Each structure stands twice: as structure tokens, then as C-alpha cells.
């Protein structure tokens, strides 16, 4: 095979691999030539793995959903590419903010006091902030968070 033919083959393979990864991780269309059932099964497995990783980063959020956590997260995450478990959890929590209560709402509030995150750029640490949390107010100053008015922790 000539060098130019090899480059074209490599480019075609790379495009097929990219389409397959997009179908499995970001809700992309099924590429030609692949077993749809097998790709969907692999994609579902990847979503469940993502749900487990997000649950480790956001334990109160996952606990708030109980046994429905993996299904809820997978349904939300299916059309979205991963941006890492911390950001995926934060994006999920923001999208479901109205339904959060107790420790899950507190977990989100504490993330928002400690980090600046616009939903697009990578989160960055804050130096000072003030946020309401269930049962009180959280104050971030000098890298330390204090909860005022809430139950002792």
C-alpha cells in the first residue's frame, strides 16, 4: 500500500473510531457497520460506570436518589459527553436543583461556595464566598468553610 493510501486508511479508521466513541459516550448516531445492540449495551455499561464515579464524587447527591440513582443519572447523562465525575455531578445537581433537599442540597451549596464554576470552564477555587445552605449559611474565608446557624458537624 502506498503511503498516501495508508494515510487515507488511517484517517478512515480514525473517523470510524471517533463515531463509535461518540455513539457510546455522547448520544451520537450509530455508525455504519457496527452491531447496534452491542454498541447500545456498551454505552449503557459506560453510563452505569459514570454514575458510580459521580456517586463517589457526590455521595449525598447519589444517596438522595437511592436505588434510582443509576437510572436517573444515566438518563440525564446519555446525550452528554463526560467532563469528569466532579463536573458531571455538579451539572446533574444544578439541572435538578429544585428537587434537592437535605444533604444533597448542602453538598451542592458547599461545592458552590468552594469553587467558581460557570458550567463551561473548569472549576477553580474561590478565596471567599457566602452561600445559604439548608439550616444556615456557609462562609468561605481563607480556604476554610464555616457553617453558621446549622447543626454542628
pLDDT at 24: 75
pLDDT tens, 91-104? Answer: 999 999 999 999 99
What are the φ/ψ torsions at residue 19 (nearest 5 degrees)? Answer: -65, -40
**Which residues neighbour 12 within 8 Å (Cβ) at sequence distance 6 or greater?**
none
Residue 72 lies in a domain: yes
144 pLDDT higher than 70? yes
Residue 150 included in any domain: no
Q: How confident is the model at residue 3 (pLDDT cuts 50, 70, 90)?
A: low
Range of the domain at 82: 3-100
Instruction: Give me the number of domains the chain comprises.
Output: 1
- Find, among 150, 131, 64, the residue nearest to 89 by Cα: 64
Is pTM beyond 0.85? Reply is no
Residue carrying the nine cell digits 473517523:
15
Residue 5's pLDDT is what?
Answer: 59
Dihedral pair phi/psi, residue 125, rounded to 5°:
-65, 140
Amino acid at each position: 500500500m502506498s503511503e498516501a493510501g495508508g494515510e487515507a486508511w488511517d484517517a478512515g479508521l480514525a473517523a470510524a473510531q471517533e463515531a463509535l466513541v461518540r455513539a457510546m459516550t455522547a448520544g451520537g448516531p450509530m455508525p455504519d457497520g457496527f452491531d447496534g445492540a452491542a454498541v447500545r449495551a456498551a454505552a449503557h455499561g459506560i453510563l452505569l460506570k459514570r454514575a458510580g464515579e459521580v456517586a463517589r464524587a457526590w455521595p449525598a447527591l447519589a444517596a438522595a436518589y437511592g436505588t434510582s440513582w443509576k437510572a436517573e443519572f444515566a438518563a440525564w447523562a446519555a446525550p452528554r459527553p463526560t467532563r469528569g465525575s466532579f463536573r458531571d455531578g455538579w451539572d446533574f445537581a444544578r439541572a435538578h436543583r429544585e428537587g434537592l433537599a437535605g444533604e444533597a442540597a448542602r453538598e451542592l451549596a458547599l461545592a458552590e461556595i468552594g469553587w467558581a464554576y460557570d458550567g463551561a470552564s473548569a472549576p477553580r477555587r474561590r478565596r471567599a464566598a457566602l452561600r445559604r445552605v439548608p439550616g444556615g449559611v456557609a462562609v468561605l474565608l481563607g480556604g476554610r468553610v464555616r457553617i453558621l446557624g446549622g447543626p454542628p458537624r
